[in-house]
Amino acid sequence: MSVSSSPAVTGGVATAKGFRAAGISAGIKPTNKLDLALIVSDTPATAAAMFTLNKVQAAPVLVSKEHLASSGGVVRAVVVNSGCANACTGDLGMTDARTMAAETATLVGCPAEQVLVASTGVIGVNLPMDKLKSGIPQAFAALSIAHGSQAAQAIMTTDPFPKESCATVAVGGKTVTIGGMAKGSGMIGPDMVPSATMLAFVTTDAAVSQPLLHRALVEVVDNTFNAITVDGDTSTNDAVVFMANGASGATIGDAEYPAFVKALNAVCLELALGIVRGGEGATKLVTITVSGAASSAEARKTAKAIANSLLVKTAIHGGDPNWGRLLAVAGRAGVAFNADRAKVTIGSTVLFADGRPYDDRAPEAAVYLKGSDIAVGVDLGAGTAASTVWTCDLSAEYVRINADYRT
């Protein structure tokens, strides 16, 4: 069976056959912004999901895990609200999340356990259930293959723009579509307790067994959503859900898996980089590649340490080719490191190598840093493994956004 993937196409969570979506305003946010999204598969879909590893888990995360376990990974719908995280909300929070699923299930005509729930927004405040009870039927009525973008808008908090992506793969003469939407580490504005949450929902019309779907999701998330960082904090509500309903008539087996994963990776990477570009106060997308590591894990650990270093993020924000900060973070990352063989690169300019500085090249690197797409590299000189992580710069605007006092 021939398999080939095509460049990314325009589309989102409702582009794959047999999926519909909606995004409406239920009045949860203080303004009239869209705040309730619904994704429905016409037929029961196989689902794989990954949730926050935070030990403080929001009610929708706990309920979605329960439902996936009891349904055996079969999902018909996902209901998502923004404006309230339903986290740290006690027993009432659990009841409310279950009610959201049950109300959706009644309309869709499926068991409640086939509905997943996600929330993002204010922590420690209970959901306005009257608004959700009237909003869910409204969203159900608005379901359409043309409303993926509305859904992408409805899950935003202070994201500056919605994130959607889509790709196709040809599988034995049939076209498989993979589409998705995400929201990033945008914070809730004034009047609310902020919460940084990453949510992503991806759909495909391929038929994929649950174990293979799960394997693909884990593999791709590791190189996309888990390879980005805005401020290093992890939310109580993070969730990534992947649904496959088979509506294209194509089945993904071992032979088709590589091309399928490649397309899934393209979709998730575009969504993930969108989250970074839309990070609070971000003015630059920073690609950090650590090479010469003793293991992939050490390469990733070092890249994450650099990506979360305030000194690195502020230097890049200011256009300062401060290679010493990159080297110092690598030195404190707790990984194998050989200073004599280490190398630091900003763009294509080598600023430290062979155990000595090339600081006379700093002006060249400073010109490069005026751009908005920045690549920096650190070779640890200790092995052959590498890892790439993406982050954004740290601006005074970040502080302003996150220090805003709720009135």
Give yes or no: 95 in active site: no
Among 366, 375, 385, 386, binds its own copies (CB under 8 A): 366
Q: Which stretch binds its own copies (CB under 8 A): 43-51, 220-228, 257-265, 358-366?
A: 358-366
- The angle that helices 296-307 and 323-332 make with each other, rounded to 10 degrees, is 130
- The angle that helices 310-317 and 296-307 make with each other, rounded to 10 degrees, is 60
Question: Is residue 394 a contact point for its own copies (CB under 8 A)?
Answer: yes
Strand partners, 229: 391
Report the C-alpha gap between 167 and 56 in whole angstroms: 34
Question: Is residue 51 a contact point for its own copies (CB under 8 A)?
Answer: no
Among 7, 32, 43, 55, binds its own copies (CB under 8 A): 55
Give the burial class of 38: count Cβ atoms within 10 A of its Cβ; 0-12 exposed, 13-18 middle, 19 or more buried. Answer: buried
Residues recorded for the chain: 407
Strand partners, 374: 286
Q: How far is CA 369 from CA 288, 302, 307, in A?
A: 14, 21, 16
Question: Is residue 364 a contact point for its own copies (CB under 8 A)?
Answer: no
Question: Is residue 328 a contact point for its own copies (CB under 8 A)?
Answer: yes
Q: Which of 157, 197, 236, 391 is catalytic?
A: 197
**Strand pairing class (174-183; 199-204):** antiparallel
Roughly how many angstroms between the first and final C-alpha of the chain, as a whole number? 61
Nearer to its own copies, 101 or 312 (CB): 312
Q: Least distance to its own copies from the beta carbon of 66, Å?
A: 16
Q: Least distance to its own copies from the beta carbon of 291, Å?
A: 16
Considering Cα of 149, then 29, then 188, then 222, what sign does the dihedral take?
A: negative
Nearer to its own copies, 246 or 381 (CB): 381
Question: Is residue 332 a contact point for its own copies (CB under 8 A)?
Answer: yes
Alpha helices in 308-403 (DSSP H): 310-317, 323-332, 362-368, 396-403
Q: Least distance to its own copies from the beta carbon of 135, Å?
A: 23
Nearer to its own copies, 227 or 351 (CB): 351
Among 159, 205, 231, 270, binds its own copies (CB under 8 A): 231
Binding site for its own copies (CB under 8 A): 53-57, 87-91, 123-125, 193-196, 231-236, 309-311, 314-315, 317-320, 322-325, 327-332, 337, 339, 342, 351-352, 355-357, 359, 362, 366, 394-396, 398-400, 402-406
Q: Which residues are catalytic?
A: 197
